[in-house]
Amino acid sequence: MTKKIVTLAGDGIGPEIMAAGLEVLAAVAPKINFDYQVEAKDFGGAAIDRQGHPLPEATLEAAQAADAILLAAIGGPQYNDAAVRPEQGLLALRKALGLFANIRPVQIFPALQHLSPLKSEIIAGVDFVVVRELTGGIYFGEHTLNARDARDINAYTYEEIDRIIRVAFELARDRGKKVTSVDKQNVLATSKLWRLVAEEVAKDYPDVILEHALVDSLAMKMITNPSDFDVIVTENLFGDILSDESSVLPGTLGVMPSASHADNGPSLYEPIHGSAPDIAGLGIANPISMILSVAMMLRESFGEIAGAQYIEHAVDKTLRDGVLTKDLGGQASLSEMTAAIIANL
């Protein structure tokens, strides 16, 4: 059956890296007999410029009908003071699709180990995933503010916690079989419920180890002993902070993909970096985050594990071969990096 992939190239370097990702997808598809079609849609600043809204109705309808969505990058300085911003389109898309589980893999490529701010003996072999709950918690609670006091409500239901914890256990089952659930159970009621639910879910996964960690302790251990983790799962606020902390470990945002999943319907895959408007159109952007997002899509939306591994191994070999874009300390152009990865497929 032909799979429908909607692409949202967006702004800045978005169209360039999206093209690179699709080139790699086209190269790997025959190797795994993957039949697909691509439908490109306006999104973000580009959609504001052309249609007056960051998430046009036609884009949303196409996304809802897709089997998976690839997003490159959105935003730019020209929208900083605009009444309608590109980021509003992303929030609206996440809400419309019910994307509650954000997945960020953190992997250290040996050829890039020297870029990490951590010592090589600490960072070597690091390979874990941060699973962040994306639609609940303090960001979506009631907020009140006046001149003398302020209040932010942090609320979670059993069901919201249960579904994100299960995502983590399913991931761990195919990885190192260990889940680290992060909370602030010694203070917060929501964290007490979080820990209770995690213990209940763990009973359904006897082959996976569950450990608990307080968020402050986890933040420290992520720097001092990052190789100790396999799958980290936590609530929205903690996940926002910890996933950003984890993104520093590889020393560059240019090699980090991400995914966002719903209970039903399509998942969205995107690099974690921004639109880099200062280098847009120069042909020097690093396409690896986008290319690895394609690999995540193949694995997590379509079960094409071999295809994902082909891409990941090709990226690793390309880096080992010394083909590096400027952000990685090399001189390769975007097209040269993409061609090298395809050659290594």
pLDDT in tens, 13-39: 999 999 999 999 999 999 999 999 999
The reply to whether 127-248 shares the fold of 1-101+256-345 is: no
Of 139, 131, 168, residue with least CA distance to 155: 139
Catalytic positions: 139, 184, 216, 240, 244
Q: How far is CA 288 from the centre of its chain?
A: 13
- Asked whether the predicted pLDDT for residue 57 surpasses 90, the reply is yes
Check residue 82 and give its pLDDT: 86
Check residue 246 and give its pLDDT: 94
Q: 136-145 contacts: CB < 8 A, separation 24 or more? A: 136/100, 136/160, 136/235, 136/236, 137/190, 137/235, 137/236, 137/237, 138/236, 138/237, 139/236, 139/237, 139/240, 140/236
- Asked whether the predicted pLDDT for residue 141 surpasses 90, the reply is no
pTM of the predicted model as reported, rounded to 2 decimal places: 0.91
Cα–Cα distance between 146 and 299 in angstroms, integer?
48
- Asked whether the predicted pLDDT for residue 81 surpasses 90, the reply is no
Cα–Cα distance between 45 and 20 in angstroms, integer?
20
Which residues share a beta bridge with 104? Answer: 130
CATH class of 1-101+256-345: alpha beta
- Asked whether the predicted pLDDT for residue 111 surpasses 90, the reply is yes
- Asked whether the predicted pLDDT for residue 9 surpasses 90, the reply is yes
Cα–Cα distance between 31 and 310 in angstroms, integer?
9
Which residues share a beta bridge with 270? Answer: 258
- Asked whether the predicted pLDDT for residue 150 surpasses 90, the reply is yes
Question: Structurally, what CATH architecture does the domain formed by 127-248 represent?
Answer: 3-Layer(aba) Sandwich (3.40)
- Amino acid occupying residue 243: S
Q: State how far the alpha carbon of 107 is from the alpha carbons of 125, 172, 233, 253, 259, in Å.
A: 8, 15, 17, 11, 15
Check residue 226 and give its pLDDT: 97
Check residue 140 and give its pLDDT: 84
Residue whose pair of structure tokens reads 């019910």 in the numeric block = 98
Check residue 165 and give its pLDDT: 98
Check residue 30 and give its pLDDT: 97
pLDDT tens per residue, range 272-300: 999 999 999 999 999 999 999 999 999 99
Spell out the residues 6+ positions from residue 39 whose beta carbon is closer than 8 angstroms to its own.
Answer: 4, 5, 6, 7, 62, 66
- Asked whether the predicted pLDDT for residue 91 surpasses 90, the reply is no
CA angle, residues 92, 54, 260, in degrees to nearest 5? 40
How much is the mean pLDDT over the chain?
A: 96
Instruction: Tell me the pLDDT band of 253, cut-offs 50, 70 and 90.
Output: confident
pLDDT tens per residue, range 213-248: 999 999 999 999 999 999 999 999 999 999 999 999
- Asked whether the predicted pLDDT for residue 314 surpasses 90, the reply is yes
Which sequence spans correspond to the domains of the chain? 1-101+256-345, 127-248
Pairing of strands 101-107, 36-40: unpaired
CA angle, residues 316, 20, 230, in degrees to nearest 5? 40
